Amino acid sequence: MGNKADELVNAIAEMDEGKAIDLANQMLAEGIDPLEVLRLCRVAMNIVGERFEKQEYFLPELMMAGDMLEQIGAIVKPLLMDQAGGEEPETLGTIVLGTVHGDLHDIGKNIVTFMLELNGFKVIDLGIDVPIEKFIDAIEENQPQVVALSGFLTLAFDSMKETVEAIAEAGWRDKVKIMIGGGQIDEQVTNYTGADAFGKNAMEAVSLCNEWIGGAT
Amino acid sequence: MKENMVPIQIKVQNCDKIIECYPGENFNEAAQRKGLAIATTCGREGTCKSCAVRIVSGKVPAVTPDEKKLFDDMQLSRGWRRSCKFVPITDCTVHIPRRSLLVQSRHLIVIKKSDQLPPDPLVRSKLIKLEPSEIEGDADWERLLQALNRDETGPPIERIDLWLLRGLSRSLRKLNWDIKVYMRGDEVIGIGPYNSRAYGVAIDLGTTNIVGFLVNLETGEVLSANSTGNPQVSFGGDIMTRLARAARDRDVRKLMQKTVVDEINNIMQELCANEVQADDIVAEMVIAGNTVMHHLLIGLDIEQLGKAPFVPTICQALDIKARDIGLISTPYATVHFPGIIAGFVGSDHTMALLTSLSSLRKELSVIVDIGTNTEISIVDGDRIISISCPSGPALEGGEISFGMSATEGAIEAVQIDGNEITLKTIQNGAPIGLCGSGVLDMVAELYRNGAINHRGRLNITNPKVRSRDDRLEFIIIEELDGIEGQISFSQEDIRAVQLAKAAIRAGIDMLLKEIGRKETALERIIVAGAFGNFLNIKNAIAVGLLPPIPLDRFEQVGNAAGKGARLALVSKKQRLRAHTLAKTTSYLELSGQKAFMTAFIDRINFDYRKQNQIDGLKQSNGMETV
Ligand code: B12
Ligand code: FES
């Protein structure tokens, strides 16, 4: 099986979709633990992530890998449910995430959601153009450790600032960490908005959450 | 600090200029005060490094964490810093790379005879001779009014411009009651001697450039034209940055308005200098521009324009007295602002449509105006749909490591053959950077030569590809002149072009999908705009920016917005057509459309299946780019 495991990791990392799905199916049929298959997917995705950071891969590769993982996930999920007796698997922590009001860009945000989920976090994705109140409601309902704000427009910086202020007003500021991200976000914008940190890409979003929530790899 | 109240002297070694910097002032602002405009793409926020200069001698400020991210170690140790954050504390010498200097020099545009437009003007004139006033006679205006309406065939005259009225009695007497009266609609808008003439001015108010045309309203002849940079760039290179700054601060907004108005006043003066006599009048103006330029100039609210759903205050065409927006050199003139299509499809696109459609037979056509925001329309019989694509500035040379505007020394065409790189620069100047058409050529040639793969990744085994601080780049010129270092094209530059071309192509995909046609069915693609005029269509097809249809279906028309503004200036009929166009063109919002996102991602890579087709095109790809 060692061989097949390597092959699966490789197939995903090399964007060979057909082969990856075939292998996953074969391994599951051979009785390999679905959790193990998921772990391999994560290993592969980490490789893809590294290549993305090194600029070897670009957005389409991230999306394609995401697509493969989603397909494998769909095959594995029912098996996992059987195993766990229908219970939700445990998560490392909860993150409320959305694109701030006035901004409709969601490609970047979706990748962040995907990578966070893949790394064991529960993500409440509020979508795009999210009004401030919706963030507050979601925070109160889900008691997250981290709030993640995404935005690509210069004017989204103001929406982020307003959202952070509203979170403080609602009395949540010291109970959650706030991270922001999107095309042009940097240190300066982070200071302007009053958020705790920013991430340049989905990998950094994961490391920030790991750092704050103290999760494993 | 006290002894420092005297200004600090900074010598600019490559311009032979001394710039005086007040204590606490940044070098970028000080240079601008001295008429040396350095690029400020991010509006001096410190995030773009378009304003980079090299401090050659004197005290070089310590490296900040921000600068670590923008420059590599070698550049930092050589003294490269952002001029907008460089606050000199001692006298020093600075080198400003030529590609960061905004060329503010205005240049004249050559006008072709064919540019003469058939007039059918809004302003009409009439020669009038009045009897000198008698002791118990009627008031001056009443007598003029009577004379005007006596045998007038046009609409009856009812009003006179207030400012004109204030000087009416004096003018009538000075001209001895022998006058030429200029009218527009039911209003008198000008009075001059018999031999006076009426002129019009058309302005294409772009984010980066302003182009003006002086037209004889009676003959339709274009008399002079000029072009200059939009001085608003010091508030930010792109409209979103300017929007954000104007939205945050009312004073900044007012200053931005004043900056353009002053520049338009200057342009008008230059246009008129040799053609217009003291007694002549500029009676009519047309100003076309994107919605943000339009709103800022008129002084409309803009906060709502920067956020979804991007609502303009007004779409309808507007007629305003020039003086009401501060154009005081021609106070009585009416400024016409053509209708807007949507928040990000402005009156400049309405004007481009007007120009293109006047020569359009009923063929399935696409009109694309490439810029930071690329407006695209598809015309299918009477149906017109338009979109705005967020292509970013890469295709204009913006936010590219060695990108620059299309001025002397900019690489405008590139050909690569193995290890041989052939460059063509504007005015054959020594190469200093790449302008838009050069950027596009670069990517196309890298791909053809296998220096990048179909995913856009630079091939490390290519001898010209280097890895520096873990970042790949393709070396174009090894060492420039010892001061500015090399010219290269980085992996990030390639990514920026990929995003830009994907946004535009996905936009075209969406429009075709909307009307249910295939791209091979396209009978005409009109490429408008300054960059569009110089881009190599074969290369645009090779990188996947434009659809692969036969080359003879493409047409590069240049400044279609400016031409449209001239049409609307001299012709009532054209203005009416523009009205209808703005109203009937529908707008397709791409935001929130899953199909656009899929198409966008699909178009990021280079299509390796089309490789053969592209190779086929290569045979005929000479350097006839320009
Ligand atoms: C695709 C796109 C669109 C699509 C969006 C589709 C969608 N469903 O998202 C559409 C066409 C709808 C669109 C519309 C507009 N866009 Co747009 N768009 C882009 C484009 C080309 C790519 C953005 C993108 O998705 N990149 C892909 C992501 C995955 O890349 P990434 O940034 O590296 O992603 C990572 C990080 O952002 C990070 N991240 C993201 N979120 C978060 C959150 C957290 C917490 C963390 C830690 C990290 C993180 O992780 C991501 C994954 O690694 C950019 C140009 C560019 N070159 O970036 C312009 C751009 C963002 N758009 C721009 C503009 C102006 C607009 C419009 C206003 C104009 C228009 N032409 O219509 C509208 C506005 C719509 C709105 N209200 O938001 C400008 C913004 C300029 C500015 N200064 O504000 C840009 C920069 C283009 C430009 N230079 O002009 N756009
Ligand atoms: S960094 Fe100086 S203007 Fe952008």
- pLDDT digit string, tens, across residues B201-242: 999 998 888 999 999 888 888 888 888 888 888 888 788 888
Q: Is A109 in the pocket of ligand 1 (CB under 6 A)?
A: yes
CA distance B346 to B172: 42
**B35 torsion bin: left (phi>0), alpha (psi -120 to 50), beta (else):** left
How far is ligand 2, taken at its centre, from the CA of residue B237, in Å?
Answer: 10
In the predicted model, what is the mean pLDDT of chain B?
86
The whole-number pLDDT of residue B371 equals 84
Using CA positions, which residue lies closest to atom 1 of ligand 2?
B46
* Yes or no, beta carbons of B47 and A107 under 8 Å apart: no
Domains observed in chain A: 2-83 (1.10.1240.10), 94-213 (3.40.50.280)
The whole-number pLDDT of residue B465 equals 93
Q: Count the neighbouring beta carbons within 10 Å of the beta carbon of residue B582.
A: 24
Chain A residue numbers touching B241 (CB-CB < 8 A) = 154
The residue behind tokens 């952002």 is: B82
Q: Do B2-100 and B103-337 come out as alike in CATH topology? A: no
Q: Peptide bond preceding B118: is omega within 30 degrees of 0, i.e. cis?
A: no
The whole-number pLDDT of residue B364 equals 93
Q: What is the dihedral of CA B463, B469, B473, B479, to 10 degrees?
A: -80
* Yes or no, beta carbons of B240 and A60 under 8 Å apart: no
User: How confident is the model over B130-140, as a mean pLDDT?
Assistant: 78
The whole-number pLDDT of residue A199 equals 93
Fold of domain B2-100: Ubiquitin-like (UB roll) (3.10.20)
Chain B residue numbers touching A63 (CB-CB < 8 A) = 601
Give the single-character DSSP code of B392. -
The whole-number pLDDT of residue B625 equals 31
Strand order in B487-490's β-sheet? B465-468, B471-477, B487-490
* Yes or no, beta carbons of B243 and A187 under 8 Å apart: no
Instruction: Indicate the pLDDT class of residue B175, thresholds 50, 70 and 90.
Output: very high
Under 8 Å between Cβ of A93 and A213: yes
* ipTM over the 0.90 cut-off: no
Indicate the domain borders of chain B.
2-100, 103-337, 358-393+498-615, 395-496
Among the partner residues B66, B240, B472, nearest to A55 by beta-carbon distance:
B472
- A102 to chain B, any CB pair closer than 8 A? The answer is yes
The whole-number pLDDT of residue A188 equals 86
B 281-310 residues with CB < 8 A to A: 306-308
Residue B65: pLDDT over 60 = yes
The whole-number pLDDT of residue B552 equals 93
The whole-number pLDDT of residue B358 equals 73
- pLDDT digit string, tens, across residues B382-432: 899 999 998 888 898 888 888 888 888 889 999 999 888 999 998 888 888
Lowest mean pLDDT across B34-48, B57-71, B588-602: B34-48
Q: Is B40 in the pocket of ligand 2 (CB under 6 A)?
A: yes
Q: What percent of chain B has pLDDT over 70?
A: 92
Among the partner residues A128, A153, A188, nearest to B306 by beta-carbon distance:
A153
The whole-number pLDDT of residue B105 equals 45
Give the single-character DSSP code of B545. S
Q: Is A177 in the pocket of ligand 1 (CB under 6 A)?
A: no
Higher pLDDT, A155 or B624: A155
The whole-number pLDDT of residue B386 equals 96
Residue type, B623: M
CATH superfamily of B103-337: Domain of unknown function (DUF4445) (3.30.420.480)
- A128 to chain B, any CB pair closer than 8 A? The answer is yes
* Yes or no, beta carbons of B597 and A153 under 8 Å apart: no
CA distance B395 to B451: 20
The whole-number pLDDT of residue A177 equals 95
Q: What percent of chain B has pLDDT over 90?
A: 49
Chain B residue numbers touching A103 (CB-CB < 8 A) = 307-308
- pLDDT digit string, tens, across residues B541-585: 999 999 999 999 999 988 889 999 999 999 999 999 999 999 999
Higher pLDDT, B124 or B443: B443
* Yes or no, beta carbons of B597 and A107 under 8 Å apart: yes
User: How confident is the model over B163-172, as a mean pLDDT?
Assistant: 93
Out of B27, B29, B47, give the residue to mutate to test ligand 2, the one with the largest number of ligand atoms within 8 Å of its CB.
B47
* Yes or no, beta carbons of B47 and A184 under 8 Å apart: yes
Residue B164: pLDDT over 90 = yes
Nearest to B388 by CA among B558, B605, B547, B591: B591
- Provide φ and ψ at B556, rounded to 5°: -105, 110
Nearest to A168 by CA among A177, A180, A159: A177
Ligand nearest to the CA of B46: 2
β-strand pairing of B334-337 with B318-321: antiparallel
Give the containing element (helix H, strand E) for B31.
helix B27-33
Higher pLDDT, B1 or B11: B11
The yes or no reply on domain B358-393+498-615 and CATH 3.30.420.40 is yes
